Structure 1
Amino acid sequence: MFSAVVALVGALIYGSADFLGGLAARQLKAIVVTATAAGSGLMLLLVAAPFFGGTWNREDVIWGALSGIAGALAIGLLYACLAIGPMSILSPLTAVVSAIAPMLWGLLIDGETLASVGYIGLALAVVAVVLVGFIPGQRTVRPSALGVAMAIGSGLSIGAFLILINHTSESSGLIPLVINRAVNTAITGSIVVALIVVAVRRGEGATSPLRPRAVGTAGLRRAWMLAIGCGVTDALANVLLLIALREGQLSIVSALTALYPAGTILLAAIVLRERIAPVQAIGLVLAVAAGALLAIA
Structure 2
Amino acid sequence: MLSVVLALAGSVIYGASDFFGGLAARGTSAVRVTLINSISGLAILIVAALVLPSRWGSSVLLWGGLAGACGAVALVLLYACLAIGPMSILSPILALVAAVIPIAVGFARGERLSGLGYLGLAVGLVAIILICLVPGERAVRPSPRGIVMAVGAGIAIGGYLVFIDLTPPDSGPAPLLVTFVVTGVVMSVALLGQRLARRGAPRPPITRATVIFSVLCGLTDAAAAFLFLLALRAGELSIVSVLNALAPAGTIVLAALVLRERIAPVQWVGLAVALVAAALLALA
Q: C-alpha separation between the residues in 2 aligned to 1:212 and 1:115?
A: 54
Q: C-alpha separation between the residues in 2 aligned to 1:212 and 1:92?
A: 35
| Cα distance, 1:136 vs structure 2 | 2.2
Q: C-alpha separation between the residues in 2 aligned to 1:56 and 1:40?
A: 22
Question: Over the residues paired in the alignment, what is the CA RMSD in angstroms?
Answer: 1.2
Answer yes or no: is 1:204 the counterpart of 2:201.
yes
Answer yes or no: is 1:81 the counterpart of 2:68.
no
Where does residue 117 of structure 2 map in the other structure?
118
Where does residue 13 of structure 1 map in the other structure?
13
Larger deviation, residues 124-133 vs 78-87: 78-87
Secondary structure of the 2:170 match is helix
TM-score (ref. length: structure 2): 0.97
Once the two structures are superposed, what CA deviation does each residue of 1:107-162 show, in whole Å capped at 9, x if it has no partner? 1x211011001111000000000000112233521111111011001001100000
Secondary structure of the 1:171 match is coil
Q: Which amino acid aligns with 2:106?
A: G
Q: Which amino acid aligns with 2:65?
A: A
Where does residue 193 of structure 1 map in the other structure?
192
Secondary structure of the 2:246 match is coil
Q: C-alpha separation between the residues in 2 aligned to 1:212 and 1:106?
A: 46
Q: Which amino acid aligns with 1:167?
A: L
Where does residue 44 of structure 2 map in the other structure?
44
Once the two structures are superposed, what CA deviation does each residue of 1:11-33 show, in whole Å capped at 9, x if it has no partner? 11111100000011111111111
Where does residue 237 of structure 2 map in the other structure?
250
Larger deviation, residues 190-199 vs 34-43: 190-199
Where does residue 217 of structure 1 map in the other structure?
none
Where does residue 62 of structure 1 map in the other structure?
62
Secondary structure of the 2:224 match is helix
Where does residue 136 of structure 1 map in the other structure?
135
Answer yes or no: is 1:261 the counterpart of 2:261.
no
Where does residue 154 of structure 1 map in the other structure?
153
After TM superposition, the structure 1 = structure 2 runs for residues 203-282 of structure 1, keeping only pairs within 5 Å, are 203-204=200-201, 208=203, 211-212=204-205, 220-282=207-269
| Cα distance, 1:195 vs structure 2 | 2.1
Q: C-alpha separation between the residues in 1 aligned to 2:158 and 2:111?
A: 16
**Number of residue-to-residue matches in the alignment:** 284
Q: Is the 8 A contact 1:124 1:290 kept in 2?
A: yes
TM-score (ref. length: structure 1): 0.93
The share of aligned pairs that are identical, in percent, is: 49
Once the two structures are superposed, what CA deviation does each residue of 1:36-80 show, in whole Å capped at 9, x if it has no partner? 111111111111112221111111111000100011011111111
Q: C-alpha separation between the residues in 2 aligned to 1:119 and 1:198?
A: 49
Where does residue 92 of structure 2 map in the other structure?
92
Q: C-alpha separation between the residues in 1 aligned to 2:51 and 2:283?
A: 30
